Amino acid sequence: MTRTPHRPTPDAPRLPESKYAMKTIHALRLSSLCALGSLAAVSSFAQDSGYYYGGLSIGQSRAKIDEPRITAALLGAGLATTGMSRNETDTAYKLFGGYQFTPNFALEGGYFNLGKFGFTSTTVPAGTLNGQIKLQGVNLDLVGTLPLTEHWSAIGRVGAQYAQARDSFSGTGAVTVLNPNPSRNETNYKVGAGLQYAFSPSLLVRAEAEHYRINDAVGNHGGVNAVSVSLVFPFGRAPEAAPRAAAAPAFVEPAAVPVAAPVVVAAEPAPAPPVVEAPARRRVTFSADSLFAFDRWAVRPEGKAALDKFAQDLKGTRFDVVTVEGHTDRLGSPAYNRKLSLRRAEAVKSYLVAPGGIDAAKISAVGKGESDPVTKPGQCKGNKPTPKLIACLQPDRRVDVDVSGTR
């Protein structure tokens, strides 16, 4: 198409990044980096090792149409703008998958579609300029997770995305468009932050806000923001074992101590020596799955009920020593397992002292990690944390309480 001599028409208008978008990106970038910085301090390999996951999300995207620049571009072509309508929001969705290396870090990739945005500007002399942009692409993110409670976690992400921007411009009346269909593919960054809720080991729900840096195919870089809700489906994670805290702990009664027969001197019987009661020893084993949530060391309500029953049964006993031993299975790193087993043993000790009423000076806690398994070598085969292997190793995840004393 050629320009008219008296009204030169502009090329496709440019849609630069707005102040609104700049404020949003700085806020999201700061929150994401803070979250990832916090996570780095607590990163460690989990007892359930890594696992794959997949998911999908849907939400709303928003871009900022730069009306002043479009108006200036039309004015430079000899056209005055009398009005503009804008479409700055649309539906966005993602399909994604990833690998959770530790409880705190995952690598995630996927496909995203941010929807389409556009405007219609009316001009004098009479005419209209219509513009539309469609955005989609693929991304690869580092996702950090910081547990807040048993079910809630904060998440932050930073990554790279390869986006395709496809524009469509058309003019009517006095407006003529020289390049009606520009497009551009470019790699840029994206950041995000949000919250995650674990309904179960096999279903997570996320609410996130993300910012995508985009080339709009007409020479400008701008930002597109998206808020979304995601369903995440971990693969290969075993469900938590059903709590067994309601069952009364099984006590191992001490063996009877033989008493020596009285010695007879001459014809007069000697008095029988007094019977000395040997210190009673009791060893009680609690399943870790009944006391704690998955990969946690805070005693859950069902576990407190079991410890209350145990403490009640010990009323009236004079203790010499009480030892609480924490044990884990062999999945995960030995260092992490020792730390987890010690934290669980200390949590049980603290509960038995208050409100259990056991003298704190006579109770100690140790973490054995994976060093003293109940399962036999070769009984549970494999190293990958499949549901079958996790269930087989369940007896190894336990807390033993040894009590020596007299009643």
pLDDT digits (tens, 9 = 90+) for 26-51: 433 434 443 334 333 333 333 446 89
Section 374-393 average pLDDT: 87
Q: Is the pLDDT of residue 405 over 90?
A: no
Cα 288 to Cα 353: distance, rounded to the nearest angstrom? 19
| Shared-domain flag, residues 43 and 136 | yes
Is residue 257 assigned to a domain? no
| Residue 23 belongs to a domain | yes
Residues of the chain above pLDDT 90, percent: 44
- Does one domain contain both 270 and 228? no
At 15 the pLDDT is 37
CATH of the domain at 296: 3.30.1330.60
In this model, does residue 392 exceed pLDDT 80? Answer: yes
pLDDT at 25: 36
The answer to whether position 250 is within a domain reads: no
| pLDDT score recorded for residue 273 | 60
Confidence of residue 355 (pLDDT cuts 50, 70, 90): confident
Distance from C-alpha of 237 to C-alpha of 49, rounded to nearest angstrom: 10
Question: Rg (Cα) of the chain, in Å, rounded?
Answer: 34
User: What is the mean predicted confidence (pLDDT) over 77-86?
Assistant: 91
In this model, does residue 131 exceed pLDDT 90?
A: yes
Domain end residue (candidates: 193, 218, 235): 235
One domain for residues 368 and 229: no
Tell me: do 368 and 287 sit in the same domain: yes
Residue bearing the bigger pLDDT, 253 or 54: 54
Residues 278 and 393 in one domain: yes
How far is Cα 211 from Cα 407, in angstroms, rounded to an integer?
A: 67
Q: Is residue 308 part of a domain?
A: yes
- Whether residue 229 is found in the same domain as residue 270: no
pLDDT in tens, 254-285: 555 554 455 444 455 556 665 545 556 677 88
Average of per-residue pLDDT across 231-242: 72
Q: Is 381 exposed, middle or buried (0-12, 13-18, 19+ CB in 10 A)?
A: exposed
Mean pLDDT, the chain, whole residue set: 80
Domain for residue 193, yes or no? yes
Count the Cβ atoms, other than its own, within 10 Å of residue 332. Answer: 21
Dihedral (CA of 45, 47, 49, 55) sign: negative
Which sign, positive or negative, has the C-alpha torsion 143, 99, 242, 367? negative
- Calculate what percentage of the chain has a pLDDT beyond 70: 75
User: Does 245 fall in a domain?
Assistant: no
Q: Are residues 60 and 197 in the same domain?
A: yes
> Can you list the positions of beta strands (E) in 49-174?
51-62, 80-87, 89-100, 105-124, 127-147, 152-173
pLDDT of residue 57: 98
Q: Are residues 68 and 163 in the same domain?
A: yes
In this structure, are 301 and 389 located in the same domain?
yes
Is it the case that residue 292 has pLDDT exceeding 90? no
Short-list 151, 161, 149, 217, CA closest to 192: 161
* Residue in the block written with tokens 């009423």: 357
Looking at residue 254, what DSSP letter applies? P
Q: What angle (nearest 5°) sits at the alpha carbon of residue 102, between those of residues 342 and 349?
A: 15
Same domain, 205 and 289: no
The more confidently predicted of residues 308 and 94 is 94
Q: Residue 196 sits in a domain of what CATH number?
A: 2.40.160.20
For residue 91, being part of any structural domain is answered with yes
Domain holding 192, by residue range, is 19-235
Contact predicate 97/42, CB 8 Å: no
Per-residue model confidence (pLDDT) at position 142: 97
Per-residue pLDDT, 174: 86
CB-CB neighbours of 265 under 10 Å: 8
Higher local confidence (pLDDT), 385 or 113: 113
Total domains in the chain come to: 2
How does pLDDT run across 200-225, given as a tens digit for each residue?
989 999 999 999 999 988 888 889 99
| pLDDT for residue 240 | 47
Across 230-243, average pLDDT: 71
* 276 and 195 both lie in a single domain: no
pLDDT for res 16: 37
Q: Is residue 114 part of a domain?
A: yes
pLDDT at 277: 53
Given a cut of 60, whether residue 106 has pLDDT beyond it is yes
Query: Within this chain, do residues 220 and 350 fall inside the same structural domain, yes or no?
Result: no
Q: How far is CA 165 from the centre of its chain?
A: 32
